[in-house]
Amino acid sequence: MKRTIFKNARLLDPASGLDSQGAMLVDGARIADIGPNIFVDAVQDDVHVVDCKGLCLAPGIVDMRVSTGEPGNEHMETLATAAHAAVAGGVTTFACLPNTNPIVDDVAVLEFVERLGRDVGLVNIHSYAAATKGLQGKIMTELGLLHEAGAAGFTDGGKAIAHAGVMRRLLSYARLFDTMIVQHPELPELVGSGVMNEGETATRLGLPGIPAVAEVMMVERDLRLLELTGGRLHFSCLSTGDAIEAIRKAKARGLQVTADTAPPYFALTESEVVGYRTFAKLSPPLRTEDDRRAVIAGIADGTIDAIVSAHTPGDRDQKRLPFGQADFGGVGLETLLSVSLELVHNGDVPMLTVLKALTDTPAELLKFPAGRLRKGHLADFILFDPDRAVRIDRDELRGKSRNTPFDERPVQGRVEKTYRAGNLVFDIETAPVPERRRFPDA
């Protein structure tokens, strides 16, 4: 296989702090060299030259939180359609939640999903295992066997592990395998039948609310358990300032706690729900402007370690319902980078900090060999234009479901090309234009 040099690029590698003009040499599937002083004679017959024309060259995005419909609900999303959406958004590796049908709570189902992912081939697909049998929150799964079979970590997906005793045992056992428990922090008793953030807007709309305290109470309880057990705990999709402050203090005490958030929580507020837009019905719900600013501050100072897509496809029948009855969730694979770059353009977070939360840190948390540009590593990377203005159009998304809360939002930044193991898997210039299927207003 020929070697390829990608020259005239802005090299961005948050793992090493690299941010400079330069080139990267790819030999087959792996990175052979990278830096500002790479030079390969273009007349050599065995070197193919790609002029990046000043585009940013960064590691492929590693997404820690993706829901797919496969197996069981392929009408909403398959691993293949999710993979096509992923590469269009610059994601080269993602981890699936176990809330499929059947649920990924035993080795046979885990191996089945992993095999389906390998067959897709377009991106690196991994799977979490359920933390409890049937996601019921009562009986632990076989952590040791599932870890040995390749589980990325353990979580009940969008359901909180509510029982304190079960969480304590999970953290204790997971410590034996140095694997991570991922918690969706919402106290079920306080969530109740709530459908949006509790407050004045919910009252005005006549919708039952979910109080912000439901998040911080679960976080503070689990931090106590973490202190007791010494395991590794990760909170997903943080949305409130109080919860972020609790984690900030826990990190200062030396606890092994990490956290992620998703673009809706730093780019949107509960005002998106006005008009009863079910695309803005998310779990946890969109919060206040103060919470949004707290999420941004958490990303900037490293309290929030990773940014995830929280990709949750929903079909039109589940979303085109009265707000109270519609499903929670929105898609996000394809818009993850574009919306995250708003943090850079607004001057809130430096470019390398944003990219680190999208690449190096999630890879490190899940122990994936990805998320960085380094000699000898697989050449999973993206070329993107951080300044190209685009408008998000749900009808042009490549996933099977198109329930994005960012429909018609103008953003700056677009992925131009995505490479996996040195192979071009997405090119905006040649990729097929998605069929324009108007997803009903919601």
Q: What's the confidence (pLDDT) of residue 384?
A: 98
Q: How do residues 78-126 score in pLDDT, each as one tens digit?
A: 999 999 999 999 999 999 999 999 999 999 999 999 999 999 989 999 9
Q: Which two tokens stand for residue 117?
A: 């992912």
Tokens 């009986």 -> residue: 139
Closest CA to 365 of 62, 58, 17: 62
* pLDDT band at 43; cut points 50, 70, 90: low
Summarised one tens digit per residue, pLDDT across range 318-377 is 888 999 999 999 999 999 999 999 999 999 999 999 999 999 999 999 999 999 999 999
Question: Does pLDDT of 305 surpass 60?
Answer: yes
pLDDT tens digits, one per residue of 355-371? 999 999 999 999 999 99
Residue predicted with more confidence, 2 or 409? 409
Identity of the amino acid at 112:
F
Please tell me the predicted confidence (pLDDT) of residue 189.
Answer: 96
pLDDT > 60? residue 19: yes
Residue 426 corresponds to which amino acid?
Answer: F
Tokens of 359: 């690449």
Could you please report the per-residue DSSP string of 231-295? --EEE-S---HHHHHHHHHHHHTT--EEEEE-THHHH--GGGGTTT-GGG--SSPP--HHHHHHH
Q: Output the six-digit token pair for 381.
A: 């990377």
Cβ atoms of 71 and 98 within 8 Å: the answer is no
- Confidence (pTM): 0.96
End-to-end CA distance of the chain: 49
Predicted pLDDT of residue 431? 87
> Does the pLDDT at position 441 exceed 80?
no
SS3 74: coil
**Distance in angstroms (rounded) separating the CA atoms of residues 244 and 224:** 15
Cα–Cα dist 63/355, whole Å: 12
At residue 318, the pLDDT reads 86
C-alpha 257/C-alpha 235 separation (Å) is 8
Tens digits of residue pLDDT in 228-246? 999 999 999 999 999 999 9
